[in-house]
Chain A
Amino acid sequence: MMTSALTLLYLLKYLRENNPINSIKMKYTIYTIAFCIVTSIGFAQDADAIVGVWKPSNGKVYVKIDKIDDKYYGKIVWLKEPNDPETGKPKTDKNNPDESMQDVPLRGYRMLKDFEYKGDGVWEEGTIYDPQNGTTYDCVINLKDENTLNIRGYVGLKTFGRTDTWKRLQKKT
């Protein structure tokens, strides 16, 4: 981002000194375009701040959040207890209301879906799935700092929900 901003500043300086069209309108247009480019680069970088591997407060799983198309998704990449103690086999989504999907492995399960970045470290419009009861909740994610997320799952109104704090696995310094 720093390099892009410097390049733009250099471009502006060059245009100011060499551009034969010296009207005020032209200058304002150039400044507006430059401002839009710089802000959009910044916005995209903020949006991707959520990307990485995160550990919920119970420490039972690691969730990797990445971007697919224009939205953010999180899937379970590690389980503290990967096998079902009853069967000894890898845990599956046995509480899924759709019986045909109850054999989906929990490792690799996409539990966060369809999050859109709304600015100010907030991702909304997504859902979180709780494999323990097979229920999907509406969800909002807040980036508290670059290594901490507040994940709030709720039903209907944000007031009726529960917040969990997730920590980044590999801390950014």
Chain B
Amino acid sequence: MKFFFKYLLICQITVLVFSCSVETETHTVKTPVLELKSTGPLFQGPNTATATWEYKVQDLFPELANGIRIENARVSTIKIIPKTGVDYPKLGKVVMEIKPKNNGMTRIGLLETNFDNSKANSLNVAQIQEDFKKAIKGEKLTFVADFDLLEEDYYDDLSFDLIVSFKIFTRK
């Protein structure tokens, strides 16, 4: 009798857990090439560049016809690419933050080495990330990059290409 109740309890918990768990599918969503821009003049030390991405959630998932229910979202890659034909000054480490329309600013990545002006720079993505579910639903994200200008000054605007990708989990 004792075993029967124990067995029943385990069955009930199992049923409860499975009925509450949500089956999700994973999508990789990439921003278009965004212009990450810092307005000059820039002086030696920390400077800031920003890029804004506005979109419609519906357009991110063209394959999902029936209502989109985002369960979780995370940043998976961040790439800053120097534009061709621009003579960049020497730049140090880069810290990337994200500012959603409907939420606070959060740090998402770090380039631990000095910025390489000759190739695409992939940033290390933060291990601890908040869930960007709400942020993605806001349909406007501002990316804020803080970089160190290692030279004395630079009297022009500074622009880069920026591509960020997200792993977004939607309910099946």
Contacts and interface: CB of A to CB of B under 8 A. Distances in A.
A105 interface: yes
Interface residues of A, number: 24
Majority-rule SS of A interface residues: strand
A68 B99 contact: yes
Given A68-B50, A75-B146, A108 B124 contact: no
B148 A108 contact: yes
B97 interface: yes
B107 A104 contact: yes
Contacts of A68: 48, 50, 99, 105, 142, 144
Nearest to B46: A108
Interface in A99-140: 99-101, 103-105, 107-110, 113-114, 127
A135 B50 CA distance: 26
A86 interface: no
B93 interface: yes
A97 B45 CA distance: 25
B86 to A, nearest CB: 22
Given A104-B95, A105-B92, A110 B146 contact: yes
A97 B126 CA distance: 11
Contacts, number: 66
A67 to B, nearest CB: 11
Contacts of A103: 93, 110, 112
B67 interface: no
Contacts of B20: none
Interface in B109-148: 110, 112, 124-128, 142, 144, 146-148
B85 interface: no
Interface string B128-172: 100000000000001010111000000000000000000000000
A81 interface: no
Nearest to A108: B46
A69 B146 contact: no
A85 B1 CA distance: 70
Given A69-B142, A103-B93, 13 more contacts: A68-B48, A69-B99, A71-B99, A78-B45, A99-B127, A100-B110, A105-B92, A108-B45, A109-B95, A110-B95, A110-B144, A110-B146, A113-B105
- What 9 pairs between A and B have smallest CB-CB spacing? A108-B46, A98-B128, A114-B104, A100-B127, A108-B146, A113-B105, A103-B112, A104-B95, A104-B110
Interface of A: 66, 68-69, 71, 73, 75-78, 97-101, 103-105, 107-110, 113-114, 127
Interface of B: 45-46, 48, 50, 92-93, 95, 97, 99, 101, 104-105, 107, 110, 112, 124-128, 142, 144, 146-148
